[in-house]
Every structure is written in C-alpha cells, then in structure tokens.
Amino acid sequence: MEKIRILLLVLIVIISFTACEKDDICVDGNTPLLIIRFYDNENPGELKAVPSLRVVGLGQSSTVNTFSDRTSLDSIALPLRINEANTGFILISDSADEDDLETGNNDTLTFDYSTLEVFISRACGYIANYDDLGELLTSDSENWIQNIEIVSPLIQQQDSAHVKIFH
C-alpha cells in the first residue's frame, strides 16, 4: 500500500510539472515609431537641429511625448495612428508662449500610409507596421519646412530615418 502511495505521489508531481506552461514575456512587441531627421536645406548632407521644436498631433491638445518639448533636435520619433490611414502633426519651429499664445512658426504635415498587422507572439500579440508612406505639407506664406524626402516607405524598424526634412 505504501508503494502505491509513493507511486501516486510521484505521478501527481510529474503530471503537475508537465502541465505548466512557459512564462510568456514580451520583449520585442512594439509598433515602430516614424523617425524623422532634419537637414540643412543649403547643405543637404548636413544635419541641422530645429530650434525650440514643438510637435502637436492634429486634433490633439497636448504635445507629442516621445521627446522633450521645445528642445533643439535634429532627429525625432513620432507615433502614427494604427486605426487610421493618416496622421497629421503641427511642427512648430522657434516655439514659445506669449500671453498663452504660440508664437513659433507652424507647419502642418500629414503622413498617409497603409497599416500591416504583424503577429509577434502569444505574449506580445500583434504590432502594426506601416507601408506606402506618403506626405503632404500644407503650404502657407511662411513655411519653415522647405522640402521633404521619404527615405523608406516601409516602417517596420526604428533604427534609421524614414523621412528627411530640409529646412
């Protein structure tokens, strides 16, 4: 009878260990951001920081939170909307407040794209990649953005620039 108890206990332990699942931890399940580099319009090979840059999403009341607001940067990362075919931004050069009014130079830039869902794993689920990236700059009398070049129309990584903006 004692041997049966021991055998039963060993069997229960074996079954309980084989029934366990591996812990699923998501380590690489992030939708990539749009990487923009800013270049000197007079010398296109030279990076050129935008002074006191502020970026606000169209229809949003707050600034983009992927970089520090009103800093001089030559590269930024922007999130694109997953459930939309385009995302618009107001890029403000020389951003400052005067009596709670924005005094910088505003340019409105809209990116259009198609969204590709990619299954990563059970833990991570799906992420979005973007393809067929295009841009539309709203023209006004004082555009600080002079030219835009799409470097990579497919956004699936964020280790290099997807868009060059010349100013």
pLDDT digit string (tens) for 28-41? 678 999 999 999 99
How many Å apart are CA 42 and CA 16, to the nearest integer? 69
Report the candidate in 26, 32, 66 with the shortest Cα–Cα distance to residue 157.
32
Specify which residues 148 forms β-bridges with.
Answer: 165
Strand pairing category for 34-39 and 163-166: parallel
pTM of the model: 0.82
Q: What is the pLDDT of residues 60-115, one digit of tens each?
A: 989 999 999 999 999 999 999 999 999 999 999 999 998 888 899 999 999 999 99
Where are the domains positioned within the chain?
Answer: 24-166
